[in-house]
Amino acid sequence: MSKKYEALAGDIIRMVGGAKNVDTLHHCQTRLRFKLYDESKAELEALSKLEGVATAINKGGMIQVVIGLHVADVYEEAVKYLEPGGETSQSPAVQEQKTDRAADKEKKKQNPFDIATSFISSIFAPIVSALAGAGMVKALLSVLVAFHLIDTAGHTYIIINMISDAAFAFLPILLAYTTAQKLKCNPIMAATVAGILVHGTWGSLVAAGESVTLFGFIPLYLVAYTSSVIPIVLVLLVQAPLERWLNKVIPGAVRLIFVPMFTFLIMGVLALGILGPIGAMVGQGLSVVFLWLGTNASWAPPLIVGALFPIMVMFGIHHGIAPVGTMSIMQLGYDAIWGPGIVCSNIAQGVAALVASVMTKDAKTRQIGIPSGITALMGTTEPVLYGVNLPKKYPLIAAMIGGGAGGLFAGITHTRRFAFGSSGIPAVVMYIGENTLQYFYQIIIALVISAAVSAVFTVIFAKKQKTKTETDKDARLEQPKEKERADAGKVFSPAKGRAVPMEQIPDAVFSSGALGICCGIEPEEGVITAPLNGEIVQLSDTLHAVGIQGENGAEILIHVGVDTVEMKGDGFAAFVKVGDQVHTGQKLLTMALDKIKAAGHERTVITAVTNSDDFSKIELTADGMVQAGEELLTLEK
């Protein structure tokens, strides 16, 4: 029965360092628990990416690989690899081929846009925190300058500006590392190649402006790559297959030296001579277009920038267009081409993310969306773009509509900025000039329009996202009420106590949602009852967890306490067995709360919907104290 998990088990054993590195292996209701001789050999990130694994963590020296309710089947196959000769029964090459085929099959199910957005999100997600922190420092600096609290010529400004710019100036190195992880090539070598692009010597050559040739005949295009995105991604798309090929053709005895050497030489030349210049040329081409628009259709640039700025940021081409605003100020004394559209776009993105975060029940989205949304309002949108708006898609579309609307107003009214700085709320003071407050009032109106429009469309799109598509409203209304109720369900509290939201559950696996949407109960009594009608499909040997297949289609896992598997059943008693039909409120388990506390474990009773993806909406309806049998969760298909 467990044969279909054979490949997954083999991958897991290999990624914890192989059979020889496993001291002990056992499992609880949801996780494989490894005690390893050398914990450093466990590839936790790679394990977490395996199809069939929710996540992998190191908790107190115990490597926990979270599988879900099928953990027993995976365990059955995993122990075979720990037997003599077991690990070689399937080679890593075979496992890799199976994994690659599964990945290819999954990719075929996705459309090109989904693949592209997934790729961009995955390479930016790990660096969101760095961008958010740097963005907040930059926003603080803008406020200090706007209110004349520090001198832009002083050392304080220079140092704080340097601190805020670090993550952005060396963005290619950060992206090289995450992109390499996505493309499965060496991230350290990738970061080193990115270092070539942002090396101080190259920056000096660019600043000098004199032609540069390699070997006397290979011309290198003079462009600065700090803060760029496209060049390093293009480099890695070429470097990843090159690196794999070099590892195949270069003998193992000298591979450690010659693979990096050839990679650096080949990719360094390609990056500076071909791949890097492509992004710069795209930006320069767009600059020409915007200058023409600024002369012949002054309303168009703020509209286009306001609507499409997030797309420009995604592909890094905004760095190539930004000098248009600088040139305008230097030549005309004001910028009506670039600045107004950006600030409208940033405000729209921040508002869209904040509205989406308030409306969602996803704790992770709120955790990222609220602080990064505030950061966007202060002028730095990368964290909110890659952390919330792009992954969820509808806030991004709403923000583009709102940014375009505000930009259109700014363009029609010829709104102008007279200084440089962060394009957020503090930037409004940059629109004071020419001895008038006219443009100051205009940009405020434009920002209000951007915020209002993006907020309205975010609400509209969010509601559409949450509700089932209605292709025939009349036919639906004619369906019997029993049919409507079949699309919804309820899960009742399995214990008396205080309801705990998912993000506050004292177990990282459950609080992250790795095993599905869940909630907790801090119990006051040691009795666990059935939260819905259904069948007992699993009961742990240690009696601390039970799985129920509900009549409404929900797969429910009740997990008593945190790490209580270590108690080996002491203090627990079961009143049901696998295969029993149970009804809501029926006694399932009892637990000795004092023994759990004495053993040093949290007593939280966790109720998880392990097939959460089968439902369009799962909502915690309980708040504060609840009685066993009171409504806890509502489910909608």
- Give one word for 32, left, alpha or beta, with left for phi > 0 and alpha for psi -120 to 50: beta
- End-to-end CA distance of the chain, in Å? 30
Angle (CA) 202-205-206 rounded to 5° is 90
135 φ/ψ angles, rounded to the nearest 5 degrees: -65, -40
Alpha-carbon gap, residue 433 to 333, rounded angstroms: 10
Distance, CA of 536 to CA of 543 (rounded, Å)? 13
Tokens 């003998």 appear where? 251
Report the candidate in 609, 632, 635 with the shortest Cα–Cα distance to residue 621. Answer: 632
Q: How far is 337 from 347, CA to CA, in rounded Å?
A: 17
Closest CA to 516 of 568, 558, 461, 561: 558
Helix H, strand E, coil C: the string for 420-448 is CCCCCHHHHHHHCECCECHHHHHHHHHHH
DSSP state at residue 601: -
- Tokens standing for residue 592: 């000795």
3-state secondary structure of 116: helix
Q: Provide the b/e sequence for 368-377 (b: ≥16 CB within 10 Å).
A: bbbbbbbbbb
The residue type at 1: M
**Coil, helix or strand for 519?**
strand
What residues contact 120, with CB distance under 8 A and at least 6 apart?
A: 314, 386, 390
**Hey, is 438 helix, strand or coil?**
helix
Q: What is the DSSP letter of 436?
A: B
Cα–Cα separations (whole angstroms), residue 535 to 449, 517, 583: 54, 20, 9
Yes or no: say if 283 and 231 are a contact pair by the CB < 8 Å rule: no
DSSP reduced 3-state for 90 = coil
CA distances (Å), origin 302, targets 238, 306, 335, 389, 405 = 36, 6, 11, 21, 9
Q: Is 31:67 a contact under the CB 8 Å cutoff? A: yes
Angstrom distances, CA of residue 80 to CA of 21, 56, 70 = 15, 21, 17
By residue count, the chain amounts to: 637
DSSP-assigned letter for residue 6: H
The residue type at 624: G
Residues annotated as catalytic are 28
Q: Which two tokens stand for residue 228?
A: 């760029």
Q: Which residues pair with residue 545 across a beta bridge? A: 559
Which residues, including other chains, have CB under 8 Å from residue 612's CB and lie 6 or more apart? 513, 516, 517, 618
Q: Which residue reads 């004199």 in tokens?
A: 210
